[in-house]
Amino acid sequence: MIINVLLVDDRQLLLECLSYRLNNEPTIRVVGAISNPEFLLHEINTNSPDIVLMNIRMKFSSGLDLTIELLKNMPHLRVVILSKYDYVEYVQATYNAGASAFITEEKSTQELVFTIKQVYLGYKLFPKIEENKIDKMLTPKEYEILTRIAEDKTNSEISEEMMISIRTVEYHISSIIRKLNVESRVGAVVTAIKRGLLSIK
């Protein structure tokens, strides 16, 4: 069994480090390591990776947005998200995006290899979330509404597009503002971008 892995990160040094470590694992083969996501589709079509290991935040793109787009057209592909931080929002957003696993950079090579092997076998691996943090997670619907807010949509437009009442939209926005600990819609978008939950288009 050989697992083909494609690495995506805007830090060249980290790419080289990951490539070296993973290629020392007999069952894993790094088929590509790219720092520019513009070449992602080309690399996937050329090298047919089983798993894409991608950073959640990069200079000019979001690993979450890329994951969503990839899985729309390639639902068979498995994505492992790598992050410097284990924020509960990151874990939830990674899960919502359809990725198969979330792992932090502080983990050992052995833990990363284990994660890759488990994902290859069809398992999903996400950190356990403390009960007192569960109420701070954005639901998939809240994340969808937040994305539309970032697109400068009004409550009425969001209501129409999502086919829910304006009152329901307002309820979800209030929940988003509370969970992100901000005071306004704009504050929610700014905070979400800073935390890597949204990317700047």
Contact 118, 156 (CB under 8 A): no
pLDDT of residue 32: 95
Beta bridge partner(s), residue 54: 8, 81
pLDDT of residue 136: 67
Tell me the pairing of strands 57-58 and 61-62.
antiparallel
Query: Which of the four CATH numbers 1.10.490.10, 1.10.10.10, 1.25.40.10, 3.40.190.10 does domain 138-194 have?
Result: 1.10.10.10
Decide: residue 19, CB within 10 A, 0-12 exposed, 13-18 middle, 19+ buried: middle
| Domain spans in the chain, listed from the N-terminal domain onward | 3-131, 138-194
pLDDT of residue 133: 58
Say yes or no: do domains 3-131 and 138-194 share a fold. no
Contact 44, 74 (CB under 8 A): yes
pLDDT of residue 25: 93
Give CATH for domain 3-131: 3.40.50.2300
Beta bridge partner(s), residue 28: 3
pLDDT of residue 137: 73
* Ramachandran sector of residue 160 (left: φ over 0; alpha: ψ -120 to 50; beta: rest): alpha
| pLDDT tens per residue across all 201 residues of the chain | 899 999 999 999 999 999 999 999 999 999 999 998 888 999 999 999 999 999 998 877 888 889 988 998 899 999 999 998 888 878 888 888 899 999 999 999 999 999 999 999 999 898 876 544 555 677 878 888 998 999 999 999 999 999 999 999 999 999 999 888 899 999 999 888 877 777 655
Alpha helices in 7-121 (DSSP H): 12-23, 40-47, 63-73, 88-97, 109-120
